[in-house]
Amino acid sequence: MFDPRTVKSRLMSSSRTWYPEGMKLLRGKGVNKSEDDWLKLTHNLGDKSIADVCEAFIGAAFQEHYKGGRWNAADWDETVKAVRLFANSPDHEMSKWSDYYAAYQKPKYQIADATAAMLDMACKIEAKHPYHFKYPRLLRSAFAHPSYPYIYENIPNYQRYVHDPYKETKSNTGCSLEFLGDSLLDMAFITHLYYKYPDKDPQWLTEHKTPMVSNKFLGAVCVKLGWHVHIKQNTAILTSQIRDYVSEAQEAEREAGGAVDYWVTISEPPKCLADVIEAYAAAIFVDAEFDFSVVQDFFNMHLKPFFEDMTLDAYENFASNHPTTRLSRLLSINFGCNDWRMGALETETLIPGKGKAVAAMIMIHGKVHFYSLGQSGRYARVRASHAALEKLDGLPPFEFRRRYGCDCAEHGDEVAKEEQMKEAMGPNI
């Protein structure tokens, strides 16, 4: 094991010194250089390269112990250690999976007695998915829209656990169910794709995860399960929007005759329908004491059947037209830029009652040029991608290089020429 702060220094070396130990260079630019001269030559890897190495290290720890079968907490212990290593923060002291739940403190609303209405709703939801809640108030919170007043049942909406400004303290606040569920379902989708398509590259996996995590798909699932009728909200316009979407979705499913990609062709659903699916995934996860297998069960029963065949034209087109995918291709292929990245971080907002939001940023050569806020990273990234596409679409490559100081294409040409020269010279040791 090693300190992550030393990773960058260990990866700083000249590409010309990467020869087997004991070999002597006979031809080439470095033939007359001494060992000390070689040590003075360094190649600084960019921050993105370092981040990629750290992420790959965590992924390797996960792959080594998780075999794609039934979830087991112990399978994730080494991955948690890897996360702790690279996080290198007093805010993340967990060294095994069980440490996460040990650090969780149940908010008062969760453990309070459930009302008859809450118990009745839990029975109806359980009829569609066989998970029995120990804390029905968690389920009720997962179906509470932000417009639903806290005072009605003393439960927070699915965007925040605690919604009482007079009683909220650091010890009993938690992340939103919607935000947590978004990440949990993301993990379920990624695991499915990773093990089903082991020969696919990261770009293909990322692009084909896009339809799986989209509002369009999760909204259709909510309607298919009939859970839209259980959403607690207090907005007349939203009621009308849900009604219109449900009619369209149900008609499209009937006309599809069993085809699973019917949801791609219908209108965008009201966002709350997708939010509820995410919040439900989080609610069963928390209720089950952070047992990820319950999320896997939900995924296997209700989501996976839609994506047994990812080669369907509808899914291929959906993935390629997603704004984040379009932006990635524009920057990497059209402009030839390899020093860009998209990041996200949680930040406080100045909007009363909104609490925290996620800011997505698009960096080009170390500078933030586009950004946006959203309730979760996925929504913020889409908005940031739209903002970038508005500015970059149709821009000539030479103008992109001038505006954003990009010399990747020129550097790439130099590297290509050097490689061609090496091939022409043949072995030089």
Write the DSSP string, 43-56. Answer: -PPPHHHHHHHHHH
Which range is most confident: 71-85, 160-174, 346-360?
71-85
Residues 342/326, Cβ–Cβ less than 8 Å:
no
Helix (H) or strand (E) holding 64: helix 47-65
**What is the pLDDT at residue 5?**
43
Query: So what's the pLDDT on residue 53?
Result: 84
pLDDT at 172: 38
- Is residue 60 scored above 50 in pLDDT? yes
pLDDT value at position 311? 75
Distance, CA of 117 to CA of 129 (rounded, Å): 19
Phi-psi group of 95: left, alpha or beta (phi > 0 → left; psi -120 to 50 → alpha; rest → beta): alpha
Q: Percent of the chain beyond pLDDT 70?
A: 76
Per-residue pLDDT at 12: 44
Nearest to 221 by CA among 177, 149, 279, 173: 279
In whole angstroms, what is the distance from residue 353 CA to residue 146 CA? 10
Residue 166 in this model has a pLDDT that exceeds 70 = no
Q: How confident is the model at residue 356 (pLDDT cuts 50, 70, 90)?
A: low
Label residues 23-59 b or e (16+ Cβ within 10 Å = b).
eebeeeebeebeeeeeeeeeeeeeeeebeebbeebbe
Given a cut of 50, whether residue 1 has pLDDT beyond it is no
**Is the per-residue pLDDT at 320 higher than 60?**
yes
Are 108-319 and 328-415 the same fold in CATH? no
Specify the pLDDT at position 327: 85
Tokens 């499913």, residue located: 253
- Asked if the model's pLDDT at residue 176 lies above 60, the reply is yes
Give whichever of 31-45, 114-128, 340-354 has the largest mean pLDDT: 114-128
Model confidence pLDDT, tens digit, residues 179-224: 899 999 999 999 999 888 888 888 788 888 888 988 999 999 999 9
Q: What token pair was written down for 424?
A: 């022409």
Beta bridge partner(s), residue 372:
360
The CA distance from 307 to 193, in Å, is 9
What is the model's pLDDT at position 351?
54
Whether the per-residue pLDDT at 25 is higher than 80: the answer is: no
Q: Residue 425: what pLDDT? A: 41
pLDDT in tens, 231-284: 999 999 999 999 999 999 999 999 999 999 999 889 989 999 999 999 999 999
Q: Is the pLDDT of residue 58 over 50?
A: yes
Is residue 163 scored above 60 in pLDDT?
Answer: no
Q: Supply the mean pLDDT for the chain.
A: 81
pLDDT tier for residue 333 given thresholds of 50, 70 and 90: confident
Domain ranges across the chain: 4-102, 108-319, 328-415
User: Count H helices, E strands: the chain?
Assistant: 19, 3
Pick the CATH number of 328-415 from 3.20.20.370, 2.60.40.420, 3.40.50.300, 3.30.160.20: 3.30.160.20
Q: What angle do CA 399, 402, 404 make, to 5 degrees?
A: 105
Residue scoring higher pLDDT (95 or 7): 95
348-367 as b/e: b if 16+ CB within 10 A: eeeeeeebebbbbbbbbeee
pLDDT higher than threshold 80 for residue 429:
no
Listed range (8-12, 216-220, 327-331, 377-381) with the worst mean pLDDT: 8-12
Q: What is the mean pLDDT of residues 341-357?
A: 67
- CATH number assigned to the domain with residue range 108-319, chosen from the 4 options 3.40.50.720, 1.10.10.60, 3.60.40.10, 1.10.1520.10: 1.10.1520.10
**Most confidently modeled range among 81-85, 128-132, 186-190, 334-338:** 128-132
Whether pLDDT at 61 is above 70: yes
Mean pLDDT to the nearest integer, 25-34 = 65
Looking at 211-270, which runs of residues are DSSP E strands?
none
- Residues 84-101: pLDDT tens digits? 988 888 888 999 999 999
Residue 377: band (very low, low, confident or very high) from pLDDT cuts 50, 70, 90: low
pTM, 2 dp:
0.71
Which comes out higher in pLDDT, residue 417 or 123?
123
pLDDT at 246: 97
Assess whether pLDDT exceeds 70 at residue 18.
no
Q: What are phi and psi of 90, to 5 degrees?
A: -65, -15
| Cβ burial 160-177 (10 Å sphere, 16+ → b, else e) | bbbbeeeebeeebebebb
| Among candidate residues 296, 350, 290, 4, the one with its CA nearest the CA of residue 138 | 290
Copy the structure tokens of residue 158.
């699915």
Q: Does residue 99 contact residue 83 with C-beta atoms inside 8 Å?
A: no
Centroid of chain to Cα 167: 32
Region 71-79 average pLDDT: 90
At 30 the pLDDT is 61
Question: In the structure, what pLDDT confidence band is assigned to residue 312 with cuts at 50, 70 and 90?
Answer: confident
324 half-sphere exposure, CB direction, 13 A CA radius: 25
Determine whether 209 is exposed, middle or buried from the number of CB atoms within 10 Å of its CB (0-12, 13-18, 19+): buried
Contacts of 239 (CB under 8 A, 6+ apart): 233
Most confidently predicted of 10-19, 323-332, 398-407:
398-407
